[in-house]
Amino acid sequence: MAFDWTVFWPQLVDGTIATFIMVLVSLVFSILIGFPLGVVLVVTRPGHILENRTLFTILNAIINIFRSVPFIILLVAIIPFTRLVTGSSIGTVAAIVPLIFYAAPYFGRLVENSLLEVDSGVIEAAKVMGATPWQIIWRFLLPEALSSLILAATIATIGLIGASAMAGAVGGGGLGDLAITYGYNQFEVRVVVITVLLLIILVQLVQSLGNYFAQTVRRK
Amino acid sequence: MIELKNISKIYPGSPPVEALKEVSLHIEKGEIYGVVGVSGAGKSSLIRSVNLLEEPTTGEVMVDGVLLSSLSSEELRKARRKIGMIFQQFNLLESKTVFHNVALPLYLVGKKRKEVEEKVMQLLTFVGLADRAEHYPGQLSGGQKQRVGIARALATDPHILLCDEATSALDPDTTKSVLDLLRKVNKDYGITILLITHEMDVVRNLCDRVAVIDQGRIVEQGTVYEVFTNPKSETAQRFVRTIFGQELPESVHQSLEKQDQILRIVFTGENAKRPLIAEVIRKFQTDINILQGSITELQGKPFGDLLISIQGDRKVTENIIQYLQEHQVLVKEVASIGV
């Protein structure tokens, strides 16, 4: 049976759009959750401006737990929750939920690292000026870490592109789904090559954009 | 202005580190006070206790007549705005312009844009960086960064300026210009300055009074003139020696004979201008050999330091010592050379 390219091309377009949607939506939610998580992880650690050992220890443990579960298992493990939220456990929308569970703790860690890179002398200077903890975060820590935060978001985005391809394994749609359905199951190597090429281009694009913005911020 | 009473600071650990031991300091309004010590002596903990960046384990910190530890966190933030601070590593925001850095303390208290602009430009003019307002710290030299730091510290009209090794990262020329600026801050704004340093030269050039700290204790304090002309503690003597290199050259050392009597003579004030040695030689008909000497200025007063050897009768030497002491000159017998 010859491969029907007239059917494939529209599916490739749909698949690309599905990947975009999955990555973008889960990225937005991962940032919304992961960003405050990272900030809290920094400021509640011992010796920091809002030291809170209990909160720090709990958050730290939760993040580690989520970070240690392989994505493919996470995908399956939270199906009941996904169904509760989206009403379904398969499809693009349903894939977004596990992607958020995967990327939010990851982004939280990246934010934590970025903020820890800020010189402690800057925080000392802020305290000396009589800055409130809130002001220290918004007016000192975040501006100083901005360039590094942009790179963190870039890394998280690329992580999500990779993970979204895996979500294809459970019928999440997107480029990964195409590669598995046609390439893996029907031995159509050309399809695998095309989808992987598309993914590579996507990743390159995201990384270049991230580098560009990080550099622009830094040069200021 | 600043009153530290029996401040102790212990860092927990095994073993715990006692950074400050029963330190008491009293700093007058309008003076420039220096605390000198080697690294690890407790200077950094001391200066950070004044604005409670580090809370003392025991003891009281009074600033402007207010007991800082009794304040709520909101009141402490307010009090800190009246205690400016500059740092060895400047601690500027690298991502913000010079203007923004100086404006930050004003933004924090919600000052209006126009007011902020006026104040910042006035401060930048004062520190000589008005033309650099739109530069980023990365484009400035160390001395310029410290000037920005000073402008930023002055933005909230503080009564006190704390200087944490403010010139230690700078070369000698830049150090001098920053010290000149600090003197101007003191004179023009009447701001009390407390500085910590390991460089005795900074103390000599800038301070009115000085305390010497060693292993968490204040071992000596007094006016700069007193401590430099007559250091009592061993630590202070070591620091003074870094300024007036008192090591005798090896060849001079070897040429001395056993029976030579070595005296250190310190002239202070008007005595430094008198030809006292000539008088002694004429009066006692003796040979005096000057081994080393210098005359410098301290706080605008001349200060001479001579090392002499006298050959001959021990009795004559005692008479000379007595004669010099009658003329209010500080004389010390030096047993072994190298002091």
Give the CB-side neighbour count of residue B229, counting CA atoms within 13 A.
25
Q: Which residue from B84, B87, B93 is facing A143, i.e. has the nearest CB?
A: B93
> Residue A213's pLDDT is what?
95
Q: Which residue from A119, A121, A139 is facing B104, i.e. has the nearest CB?
A: A139
Phi, psi of A15 (to 5 degrees): -65, -40
Three-state SS for A129? coil
Q: Name residues 36-95 of chain B within 8 A of A (Cβ).
A: 51, 53, 77-81, 83-85, 87, 89-95
> Residue B293's pLDDT is what?
82
Residue B108 near chain A (CB below 8 Å)? yes
**Inter-chain residue contact A144 with B93, CB threshold 8 Å:** yes
Give the CB-side neighbour count of residue B80, counting CA atoms within 13 A.
28
The C-alpha of A45 sits at a distance from chain B's nearest C-alpha, in angstroms, of 17
> Residue B320's pLDDT is what?
86
Average pLDDT, integer, range A140-157: 96
Q: Which residues in B lie closer than 8 A to residue A144 (C-beta atoms)? A: 93-95
Model confidence band, residue B246 (pLDDT cutoffs 50, 70, 90): low
**Inter-chain residue contact B77 with A130, CB threshold 8 Å:** yes
Tell me which chain B residue has its CA closest to the CA of residue A132. Answer: B77
- Does the pLDDT value for residue A220 go beyond 70? no
Separation CA A91–CA A84 (nearest Å): 14
**Strand B288-298, strand B301-310: pairing:** antiparallel
Which helix (H) or strand (E) is B76 found in, with range?
helix B73-81
Query: Where in chain A are the domains?
Result: 12-219
Average pLDDT, integer, range A39-63: 95
Give the CB-side neighbour count of residue B249, counting CA atoms within 13 A.
7
Residue B173 near chain A (CB below 8 Å)? no
How many CB atoms lie under 10 A from the CB of residue B21? 16
Which residue, among A117, A127, A128, A141, would best test binding to B if mutated, counting the most B CBs under 10 Å from its CB?
A128
Q: State chain B's mean pLDDT as an integer.
A: 89
Tell me which chain B residue has its CA closest to the CA of residue A138. Answer: B108
Which residue, among A124, A129, A219, would best test binding to B if mutated, counting the most B CBs under 10 Å from its CB?
A129
Residues B100 and B46 sit within 8 Å (Cβ to Cβ):
no
The C-alpha of A136 sits at a distance from chain B's nearest C-alpha, in angstroms, of 10
As a whole-number percent, the residues of chain B with pLDDT over 90 amount to: 62
Which residue, among B76, B92, B94, would best test binding to A if mutated, counting the most A CBs under 10 Å from its CB?
B94
Query: Where in chain B are the domains?
Result: 2-242, 250-334
Q: Which residues in A lie closer than 8 A to residue B153 (C-beta atoms)? A: 128
Q: Which residue from A124, A130, A220 is facing B95, i.e. has the nearest CB?
A: A220
Tell me which chain A residue has its CA closest to the CA of residue B105. Answer: A129
**Inter-chain residue contact A140 with B93, CB threshold 8 Å:** yes
Separation CA A18–CA A86 (nearest Å): 16
> Residue B284's pLDDT is what?
85
Fold of A12-219: MetI-like fold (1.10.3720)
DSSP per-residue string spanning B152-167: HHHTT--SEEEEESTT
> Residue B339's pLDDT is what?
38
Three-state SS for A55? helix
As a whole-number percent, the residues of chain B with pLDDT over 70 amount to: 96
Model confidence band, residue B229 (pLDDT cutoffs 50, 70, 90): confident
Q: State chain A's mean pLDDT as an integer.
A: 91
Residues B186 and B22 sit within 8 Å (Cβ to Cβ):
no
Tell me which chain B residue has its CA closest to the CA of residue A148. Answer: B95
Residues B204 and B27 sit within 8 Å (Cβ to Cβ):
no
Tens-place pLDDT, residues B274-305: 788 888 888 888 888 888 887 777 877 888 88
Q: Comparing A1-10, B78-87, B211-220, which segment has the lowest mean pLDDT?
A: A1-10
Residue B295 near chain A (CB below 8 Å)? no
Q: Which residues in A lie closer than 8 A to residue B80 (C-beta atoms)? A: 127-130
Binding-site residues on chain A for chain B (CB distance < 8 A): 119, 121-122, 124-125, 127-132, 135, 139-140, 143-144, 146-147, 217-218, 220
**Inter-chain residue contact A119 with B108, CB threshold 8 Å:** no
The C-alpha of A43 sits at a distance from chain B's nearest C-alpha, in angstroms, of 16
Residue B244 near chain A (CB below 8 Å)? no
Largest Cα–Cα distance of chain A, in whole Å? 76
- Does the pLDDT value for residue B258 go beyond 70? no
**Inter-chain residue contact A125 with B85, CB threshold 8 Å:** yes
Residues B193, B213, B154, CA angle at the centre, nearest 5°? 15
Q: Which residues in A lie closer than 8 A to residue B108 (C-beta atoms)? A: 129-131, 135, 139
Q: Comparing A44-58, A193-207, B173-187, B250-264, which segment has the lowest mean pLDDT?
A: B250-264
Q: With a threshold of 0.90, tell me whether the complex ipTM lies above it.
A: no
Q: Which of B39, B61, B67 is nearest to B49 (CA)?
A: B61
Model confidence band, residue A130 (pLDDT cutoffs 50, 70, 90): very high
> Residue A165's pLDDT is what?
85
Residues A69 and A163 sit within 8 Å (Cβ to Cβ):
no
Superfamily of domain B2-242: P-loop containing nucleotide triphosphate hydrolases (3.40.50.300)
List own/partner pairs for B289-294 with CB under 8 A and 24 or more apart. B289/B260, B291/B248, B291/B252, B291/B256, B291/B262, B291/B337, B292/B246, B292/B248, B292/B252, B294/B244
B218: tokens are 């204040």
Average pLDDT, integer, range B28-43: 94
Q: Which residues in B lie closer than 8 A to residue A217 (C-beta atoms)? A: 95
Q: For domain B250-334, is the CATH number 3.30.70.260?
A: yes
Which is higher by pLDDT, B309 or B98? B98
Tell me which chain A residue has its CA closest to the CA of residue B92. Answer: A122
> Residue B251's pLDDT is what?
74
How many CB atoms lie under 10 A from the CB of residue B105? 27
**Inter-chain residue contact A143 with B85, CB threshold 8 Å:** no
Q: Which residues in A lie closer than 8 A to residue B90 (C-beta atoms)? A: 121
> Residue B245's pLDDT is what?
61
Residue recorded with tokens 């281009």: A201
Cα-Cα-Cα-Cα dihedral sign, residues B312, B313, B317, B320:
negative
- Does the pLDDT value for residue B202 go beyond 70? yes
Q: Which residues in B lie closer than 8 A to residue A140 (C-beta atoms)? A: 93
Which helix (H) or strand (E) is B4 found in, with range?
strand B2-11
Q: Which residues in B lie closer than 8 A to residue A128 (C-beta atoms)? A: 51, 53, 80, 83-85, 153
> Residue B21's pLDDT is what?
94
Residue recorded with tokens 């001098």: B176
- Does the pLDDT value for residue B338 go beyond 60? no
> Residue B337's pLDDT is what?
47
Average pLDDT, integer, range B143-158: 96
Residue recorded with tokens 């979204």: A164
Residue B6 to residues A85, A178, B61, Cα–Cα distance (Å) = 62, 75, 9
Q: Which residue from A124, A135, A217 is facing B91, i.e. has the nearest CB?
A: A124
Name B331's bridge partners: B265
